[in-house]
Structure 1
């Protein structure tokens, strides 16, 4: 699976310590937890999709008619481990419209030691993510 260059979409921040939770990520870069986003990979029927939501929010899987992808499915479909999945992928990506009001946020940077600081609206402007109300 070919990867998209994350540097084309924001600043990759390398960390000395691993971050595995929203709280750890917020502490690592000195921002409130609401500035951290998570990219969740789900399976809807036979199709995989990713949803970018604020780290403090829960994704309503029942409303979407989807289930969470397993860690192995996430790795197979994206090339990234759960927890490090960036917002720029080779599968359909949807972004919570609420995030478009933020100048920038921090999301997965590819692994537990990286975060990507990016502008949500840029993902939409460049056709990488489709805005949806979640």
Structure 2
């Protein structure tokens, strides 16, 4: 599935949950929806020699930038290439998205919902089945 230049409705990929207070950490997100921190994912945008990519992994896991040959994108770059501010970046983006293969075993996880007052509850396998993300070992 090609996302093109426009942003797809996140509701097409899962349940968008609006929160009364902002969530900026894995711990805050887990508490807000009443799940273990291992069920919270993060979508990290990186710059690999001028090519932007996103990696979806558990919020409690670290991304090995050195192994990938990349650096973290700046907040300005993230907003420019995704249309979302850091802290609310969802796993559905107009740039290549790679999802940690271990997440495919989870029925549902929670990630960025577009802003710091929203979370997206989704099936990781749906992203792969719909061509939105490529599974890799992170």
Give TM-score scaled by structure 2 length: 0.96
Structure 2: tracts of 5 or more residues without a match: none
Aligned equivalent of 1:52, options 18, 39, 56: 56
Distance in 1, Cα, partners of 2:109 & 2:41: 7
Aligned equivalent of 1:128, options 113, 125, 132: 132
Q: How many Å apart are 1:41 and its aligned residue?
A: 0.1
Task: Tell me what 2:95 maps to.
Answer: 91
Q: Deviations over 1:35-86 (max 9, x none)?
A: 0000000000110000000000000000000000000000000000001000
Q: How many Å apart are 1:4 and its aligned residue?
A: 1.4
Q: How many Å apart are 1:2 and its aligned residue?
A: 2.0
Structure 1: tracts of 5 or more residues without a match: none
Aligned equivalent of 1:114, options 118, 127, 134: 118
Give TM-score scaled by structure 1 length: 0.99
